[in-house]
Amino acid sequence: MKLEQIETPAALIDIARMQKNIARMQAHMNTLGVAFRPHVKTTKCIDVVRAQIAAGARGITVSTLKEAEAFFAAGVDDILYAVSIAPSKLPRALALRRQGCDLKLVVDNPIAASAIAAFGEQHGATFEVWIEVDTDGHRSGITPEQDTLLEVGRILHENGVKVGGVMTHAGSSYELNTQEALVALAEQERAGCVRAAQRLREAGIACPAVSVGSTPTALAAAQLDGVTEVRAGVYVLFDLVMHNVGVCALDDIALSVLATVIGHQADKGWAILDAGWMAMSRDRGTSKQAHDFGYGQPCLLNGTLLPGYVVSGANQEHGILSSTDADTQVTDIEQRFPIGMKLRILPNHACATGAQFPEYHAVMPDGNSVEWRRFQGW
């Protein structure tokens, strides 16, 4: 299908850009001598994950059991479920393992660790669990020097649960925007996770995997001694938030929303689009960064950027395209953006925008596209 024929709004993936992003990350991992386990929550799309595996990825990271079930059904069996598991979900995790899925769980507290151990004992099942380490105060995890680290390790180890490794996600990297700061955080993430593994090993608990990563720290890491694998997700498509962090150019962004101009408010300098927040998502991640891209950066249908314009407002199904300078009204908005004109809007946050759509239209270099399904839910 040609771009002009696709009904709007629609989520487009530029395949050439995506392949370039995949190759860039994999080459960096190969240089650093670590395995790469992509986080597939960004796209939830088997076609994308096949491209990541073809490039050299080993195993995947998921954020929901639904992703684990769907990707296992599609043939991926090495899966890290990187959200601390709610005990009520253990029967689904067990069902996956009994079908042959090498599913690894994550915990960061003694209560969840005990629940896994008790459930395993009750059902004669062996689980593999990785302990989540907090290396930057971003979200969850146990800090490397905390006593709880060894307490959780012992609960698992002494009750028949395999401690497969430690993992951390330095998500505070999204708040940075200099190479120097990113390199320093990547080193902090590495050193903290390696230290946690060392403490467990010194306590007699084997801890084979040391897993780190976010897109900014993965790309900034200068050395990863002691680390066995890296995880990253959004790098595969990139977005405006990542551009502001400084890890991609605008023309690396592989995801855009195809939209049609449906009207104007000429006196205000607005063109109205049929892509509102239902298409772009409510994510305003760039609002706290150096360059606020509103709800997205408009481009022509062929991907050429339209500097000086932004999607400045969004209702559910209406987007407002206007000048980036709030005080400058575009006097010829109706001529520049005639009704029926199609545009591509680069999103703030690729994971959030992709989640608004049941499928991607994957666009090939010749302008033709194919449909790639993605799934939703938990």
Ligand X SMILES: Cc1ncc(COP(=O)(O)O)c(C=O)c1O
- Which positions lie near ligand X, rule CB under 6 A? 39, 61, 82, 169, 171, 213-215, 231-235
Nearest distance from C-beta of residue 253 to ligand X, angstroms: 14
Nearer to ligand X, 82 or 333 (CB): 82
User: Measured from the CB of residue 222, what is the shortest distance to ligand X in angstroms?
Assistant: 18
Number of Cβ within a 10 Å radius of residue 308: 12
Q: How far is the CB of 117 from ligand X (least distance, A)?
A: 22
How near is the Cβ of 209 to ligand X at its closest, in Å? Answer: 13
Evaluated on CA atoms 247, 248, 254, 258, the torsion sign reads positive
Query: What does residue 210 show for φ and ψ, rounded to 5 degrees?
Result: -125, 105
**CB-nearer residue toward ligand X: 13 or 310:** 13
Contacts (Cβ under 8 Å, ≥6 apart) of 75: none
Output phi, psi for 361, to 5 deg. Answer: -100, 110
- Between 15 and 218, CB nearer to ligand X: 218
Of the pair 190, 231, the CB lying nearest ligand X is at 231
Phi first, then psi: give them for residue 187, nearest 5 degrees. -70, -40
Comparison of 164 and 213: residue with beta carbon closer to ligand X = 213
Task: Specify the DSSP class assigned to residue 3.
Answer: G
Q: How far is the CB of 151 from ligand X (least distance, A)?
A: 22
Asked if residue 157 lies in contact with residue 148, where contact means CB atoms within 8 angstroms, the answer is no
Q: Considering the complex, state which of residue 36 and residue 309 has its C-beta at the smaller distance from ligand X.
A: 36
Q: Which of 41, 19, 37 is nearest to 374 (CA)?
A: 41
**Least separation, in Å, of the C-beta of 235 and ligand X?**
6
Q: Is the dihedral of CA 181, 185, 188, 191 positive or negative?
A: negative
